[in-house]
């Protein structure tokens, strides 16, 4: 039995079909849901992935892609993302994993999938390999794909004191005047997280760019200022 089939059968066994339409509507997803809440999805993934070992980065990537590309239900894509973060894949969290993460980001193209990858996968790689990752994030920030640009903005959201502030501002710059809600929201979120470290600096930045930042970005950035 394939990993995807095992996951699908296990998810189906605990699914609540009555919840599935509302979950799909909330997420505005073309892909249907099984109707399994997030804590149960995590528990199932932990159970099924516990004994997995991978001989190489390629073997791990093939396993992730098989679930992701073969998914028929959105929880199966959540499971693919969970597989990227298992202990057995810890040694693969290098810039060599970025083609896989790029594939997930571009084909996922929605916040519930992209943001987890941006903050919990791309971010740690950036902190571990700053020089090559900095160049890559700058390219993503300036590119045409909105979700890669959002990733570049959000990837330092959990970096706290280790935030490369110059990089954060450089990744915000190409999207600062964008009309896209998800880019405006990302800018605000990224700035709000850094404000937990240095509120004064974020307030300075917002004031300096007041005419260019959207109202949404400014409100989010200074959400905890009071």
Q: What is the pLDDT of residues 12-66, one digit of tens each?
A: 999 999 999 999 999 999 999 999 999 999 999 999 999 999 999 999 999 999 9
The span from the CA of 195 to the CA of 220, in Å, is 10
Question: How deeply is 130 buried, as exposed, middle or buried, from its count of CB atoms within 10 A (0-12, 13-18, 19+)?
Answer: middle
Where do the structural domains in the chain lie, given as residue ranges? Answer: 1-92, 93-226
Q: How far is CA 50 from the centre of its chain?
A: 23
Task: Report pLDDT for 47.
Answer: 95
Residue 115 · residue 154 · CB < 8 Å = yes
Q: What confidence tens digit (pLDDT) does each residue in 122-157 have?
A: 999 999 999 999 999 999 999 999 999 999 999 999
pLDDT of residue 224: 82
- Contact (CB, 8 A) for 3 and 48: yes
Domain 93-226 fold is 1.25.10
Please choose, from the candidates 107, 201, 25, 124, the residue with its C-alpha nearest in 3D space to the C-alpha of residue 193: 201
> Span 82-90, mean pLDDT?
97
Q: What is the mean pLDDT of the segment spanning 192-216?
A: 97
Q: Residue 225's pLDDT band (boundaries 50, 70, 90)? A: confident
Instruction: Quote the pTM value.
Output: 0.96
Q: How many CA atoms lie within 13 A of 203 on its CB side?
A: 9
Q: Sorting pLDDT into bands at 50, 70 and 90, what band is 226?
A: low
CATH code: domain 1-92 is 1.25.10.90
Q: CA 160, CA 141: separation in Å to the nearest integer?
A: 20
For residues 210 and 33, what is the distance between their CA atoms, to the nearest angstrom? Answer: 41
Question: Which pLDDT value is given to residue 1?
Answer: 65
The alpha carbon torsion through 117, 107, 80, 23 (nearest 10 deg) reads 90
DSSP 121: I
Q: Crossing angle of helices 74-84/98-108, nearest 10°?
A: 160
The reported pLDDT for the residue numbered 204 is 97
Q: Percent of the chain, pLDDT > 90?
A: 98
Q: Are 1-92 and 93-226 equal in CATH topology?
A: yes
Q: Rounded mean pLDDT of the chain?
A: 97
Q: What's the pLDDT at 203?
A: 97
């Amino acid at each position: 039995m394939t990993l995807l089939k095992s996951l699908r059968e296990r998810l189906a066994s605990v699914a609540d079909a009555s919840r599935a339409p509302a979950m799909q509507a909330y997420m505005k997803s073309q892909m249907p849901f099984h109707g399994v809440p997030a804590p149960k999805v995590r528990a199932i993934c932990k159970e099924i992935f516990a004994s997995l070992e991978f001989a190489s980065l390629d073997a791990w990537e093939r396993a992730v892609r098989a679930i992701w590309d073969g998914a028929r239900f959105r929880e199966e894509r959540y499971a693919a993302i969970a597989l990227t973060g298992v202990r057995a894949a810890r040694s693969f969290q290098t810039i060599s994993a970025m083609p896989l993460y790029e594939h997930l980001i571009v084909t996922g193209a929605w916040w519930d999938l992209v943001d987890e990858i941006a903050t919990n996968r791309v971010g740690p790689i950036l902190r571990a390999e700053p020089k090559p990752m900095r160049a890559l994030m700058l390219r993503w920030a300036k590119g045409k794909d909105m979700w890669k640009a959002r990733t570049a903005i959000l990837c330092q959201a959990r970096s706290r004191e280790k935030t490369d502030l110059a990089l954060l501002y450089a990744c915000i710059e190409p999207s600062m005047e964008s009309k896209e809600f998800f880019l405006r929201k990302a800018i605000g979120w990224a700035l709000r997280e850094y404000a937990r470290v240095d509120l004064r600096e974020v307030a300075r930045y917002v004031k300096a760019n007041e005419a260019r930042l959207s109202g949404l970005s400014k409100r989010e950035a200074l959400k905890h200022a009071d």
